[in-house]
Structures are given as structure tokens and as C-alpha cells.
Amino acid sequence: MSGRGRGSPRSPEGGGRGVRSRQPIDGRGGRGGDMGGARSGRGDEMAAAAVLGPGPLRVGFVGAGRMAEAIAQGFIRAGKVEAQHILASAPSDRNLCHFQALGCQTTHSNQEVLQSCLLVFFATKPHVLPAVLAEVASVVTTEHILVSVTAGVSLSTLEELLPPTTRVLRVSPNLPCLVQEGSVVMARGRHAGSSEAKLLQTLLEACGQCEEVPEAHMDIHTGLSGSGVAFVCTFSEALAEGAIKMGMPSGLAHRIVAQTLLGTAKMLQQKEQHPAQLRTDVCTPGGTTIYGLHALEQGGLRAATMSAVEAATCRARELSRK
């Protein structure tokens, strides 16, 4: 292993080759306190110091797509990481401009990310990740915590591609992380302990709900929550189209459906009720809801939905075996 990465990673502000810095263009990004999260960020930095050593928490992203941007944006908005302490790499400027708009540092060098940051998220396409890990392996040290956001790549595969004893974790987020209402699950590798898992969980709670699960549940989460966003959108579209068919304007119908889904989700979370109980509360004998539910049962909604989750999970498992 190369000795280049063994010392304290150099600061992104140091202006290494290929790094470009830009100040935040609005009040959402930037220096931690803009969203009232300064106290939270300070506590997170103390927790990070216990795991990664003293100094400000620096977070790297290898890959700068929508999910990487969503995670970085969550960290910044919650005040958990300062924008200037985030460094993202990508082959071209196409996605890096979004990180620059947040006030983050950017580079075209993947190795530079590892040399500058001890906590690094890999958010590449699955077929690209092995080559990327081979490229950066020489600068990985025992101080690093490496987190894969890439679907379908197991912890054992990640550990095989990296130096021995590397601390590795897997994360499965979903698209609502873009609005800090995501569902995220994480699993740790053999050399990542509870302190690393706790640090990562605390940070990722800026993107929504985050729970640690056995790795076997990661592909199920992909089928349930990752793909589930599309399933819910399909149901949302169908609800609105039912109202449109009955004469309601399209825009109004879609707004009402979105609010109905949001309100229902909040009730399920806050009341901690089983969905069947809430459904029963809405139904009255001979009323409109039971008639509508009967139509859904005739159409096979339950079986179709269960089959959709099963099919998406099976496909995720197939991809994991490739």
C-alpha cells in the first residue's frame, strides 16, 4: 500500500490539482449554520473526531450523481458537514456543477478524494465500481471509512477489492433523500464496528430515516423502498386519473393525491398504527370507502403490489450475484 495516504489527508482548501471551489449560490448551502443546524453539526464533528481523529469532518464522494448530491445536500442543510469540507469527483463537469452550486469542492481525481477525506462515499454505477476501487486502493489507509452507495455490490466483494482490514459499509438510500425524507438502510463489513455504524447513521439521518440492518435485507429494501417510489407514483397517478375521469381538473387532482399520500404517511408514522387499523378507521358500513376498497380487491391490488416488491427484490439479488 502506498504511503501517500497514511498521513492526515490534506485539506481540500489547499487547492490540489483539479480542485475548483465556488461559494454557495443560495442560503441553503454553505457553512453549516444556515439551516439552524450548527449545534447538531458540532456534536456530529465531536462524534466524528472520536472515530476519524481531530479536525473538521471532511466527507468525500466518488461519483457525483443524483444520490450523491442528495446525501451531500442533506449533510449541508442539517449542518452536519460544512459545504467547504465536502469534496466530490467525477470524470466530467456534468454532475460536478451541482456540487459546486452547493459550495462544495470538486475534482476529476478519485485518488485526491481519498487523500483529502477519511470518510468517503462511493456512488458510481455497479459496473464501474471495481475499476474505481482498484484505482484508489493504493491510497486507502486503515484510517479510512469507505461507504458504498452502489446497488448490487456485496460487502464481501468490496472487501476483496480493497486492502485488508479496510472499514467498509453499504448504504441503500432511495430518491426522497433529495428532499430529506428518504428511507436509508445500512450494513457494515467485517472491520467496521459500532462506532463507525453510529457515526454513519447519525449523518444519514439528515437524509431521512436511517436504520442498520443485516446485509440480507439490503436487496429487499431496494425492492421495497428504492423501487417502491415508482410503485407509489404509479398508484398516485392512478388515483388522480380516477378523479380526472369523474370530472376534476388534472392539476387539482394531483395536488390532492400528493397531500393525501403525505398526510397518510405522517399518520402511519406518528400514530405507529398498523395500516389495517387506519384503513378500518376510514371505513364505515355501507359508505364510500368500503365500496372503493371492494373495487381495488377485485382488481387484485394487494397481489399485484406484493408481486412487484418480490420481482424488484429478485432482480436486485440477480444483480448482486453478477
| Rounded Cα–Cα distance for residues 198 and 51 (Å) | 10
Is 110 annotated as belonging to a binding site?
yes
Is 123 annotated as belonging to a binding site?
yes
| Rounded Cα–Cα distance for residues 65 and 56 (Å) | 25
Q: Assess contact for 67 and 149: CB atoms under 8 A.
A: yes
Q: Assess contact for 56 and 85: CB atoms under 8 A.
A: yes
User: CB burial class (10 A; 0-12, 13-18, 19+) of residue 219?
Assistant: buried
Burial 112-122 (b: 16+ CB within 10 A, else e): bbbbbbbbbbb
| Rounded Cα–Cα distance for residues 187 and 19 (Å) | 32
Distance from the first to the final alpha carbon of the chain:
28
What are the C-alpha distances in Å from 136 to residues 56, 112, 162?
23, 9, 9
Is 126 annotated as belonging to a binding site?
yes
Is 134 annotated as belonging to a binding site?
no
Q: Indicate the annotated binding residues for NADP(+).
A: 123-126
Binding-site entries for NADPH:
110
Please give the annotated binding residues, written as ranges: 110, 123-126
